[in-house]
Structure 1
Amino acid sequence: MTIAIMGAGGVGCYYGAMLARAGHGVTLIARPQHVEAIERHGLAFEARGTTETLPVKATTEPSGVAEADIVLFCVKSGDTEEAGRAIAPHLAANATILSLQNGVDNAQRLQDVIGRPVIPAAVYVAVEMPGPGHVRHHGRGELIIGPGATSIAIAASFGQAGIPTEVSENVIGALWTKLAVNCAYNALSAIPQLPYGRMIAVEGVRDSMADIVAECRAVAQAAGIAIGPEIMDTVLALAPAMPAQSSSTAQDLARGKRSEIDHLNGYVVRTGERLGISTPANRLLTVMVKLMEESAGL
């Protein structure tokens, strides 16, 4: 397959690396510093204590999606519409577009902009970009994708590339489950700039997480989406599995970048307001992160 990755940060570079290793043609559309490093040295892929260099194409231009069979759309949630408009004129007629983004509504927002189907995907991977053109994998890597004309074939090809991929009719439920996990971790990791292991060890954090998740479940239920009671087990299992991982929100703020908080805890707050559900814990975290962004001039 020929695969283009729009917004090749940590998530995009990880999946690009895995697919390139399996022999697929990969083009990364990324920021200039990453493109320059990849053009000079290749994509540095670090996992399990070893680093390999992969030769992949890289460009800053949205036209990099041209002729791709599959486009993995990995931009930050706040950039969905702008990036969608940028790639729309260059998409091949038969291209399949998957949204690999945080939040629950990006696929629909992108679909509205480009005027063609977008397959939503729930992404479970822990990665970071420690330097230009360098992706570091901390754990997991599976995908849950929605149904589509090519979803089964994509799942098979991705699986052969070492990316466990499930096709689910209830991908929206998976996205809401992931949203609840993100709401529990992202801001709480970002505000003190602590990795998950140290963060969750602080007294009161687990109880605060339970409050956050309870609000997410209540809002989801009001929206007609079921999040099972086992969600807290999922939340609490993440920190011991990835004790050194920091949230994407923490990484954004540490790098002086605006976060996706409006599409995480903030989305729960807005949806709760629309449905008449109170969300004080999620509101407070949203405001705290926004105050940090304001203080940093972001």
Structure 2
Amino acid sequence: MSAEHPIEKDMAPEVESNGTAPITHEMSAEDTARAAARFGYGPMAQVNTAEANLRPFGGEFQPGLYKSVEQRKFANPAPLGLCAFALTTFLLSLINMGTRGITANNIVVSLAFGYGGLVQLLAGMWEMAVGNTFGATALSSYGGFWISFAIVLTPGGFEIVDSIEAAGGESMFNNSMGLYLMGWFIFTTILLLCTLRSTVAFFLLFFFLDLTFLLLGIGYLRPDAAGAPNPSIIKAGGFFGLLAAFAAWYNALAGIADSSNSFFIMPVAHFPWSPTARSRAKTPRETV
């Protein structure tokens, strides 16, 4: 420990040798300034707003200017949420594409509840704790999506599919599911608009996901002659879902890999109109 930053004293107050009255220590202005500069948070922190914001970075799940997590008590929760979203989307998309002849998607239920749902929701709540409004909104919402989707698919549990089909047949369920997916398409479009000043990798994640919801919604709203969801459109939605899953993993890797644990960083692809491309300034977190 250097002399410039001595080791802090214990938080418990010192007492006289007879154990009666505590000894108080007045902090000088220099000590106060040193503590504020060192800890970077709390009532003594003096934040330089010109240096607190960094460039957009997909690994932080923040499309706009964000504050570095290096001086925070919390780790970056974005890679956890992205991985939870990616794996669940990956599995469902393979099933939608008819991989290895799988037609029933019940295996997704456990993953949607436990990983894509619960874990992603928790990651979204931690995004709120670190001050990332976009990340909190996106990860928490998609965590809720997977939980709600698992509720629909739970066999013999909530009986949502059976109750809808009992009321109006398979066509009513297809229309209900189609409208459900189109609602998520609208929500994803809103998030997509917020990524236009960030990076290509971050934009592509929401672009592929947006097309996934759109195609799956159309597949249910425009069934085939037998009344089942249109298989060609559902497969197309599954294909774009795979692309969304790999884009999510890519952004997650960008948030995990750095000089402390990796021999490489992910290549950067900023839009020409983004703040980084316009300023041509490099930042420590420019690693998407």
TM-score if structure 2 supplies the norm length? Answer: 0.24
Higher helix share: 2
Between structure 1 and structure 2, the one with the greater Rg is: 2
Bigger RCO (CA 8 Å, 6+ sep): 2
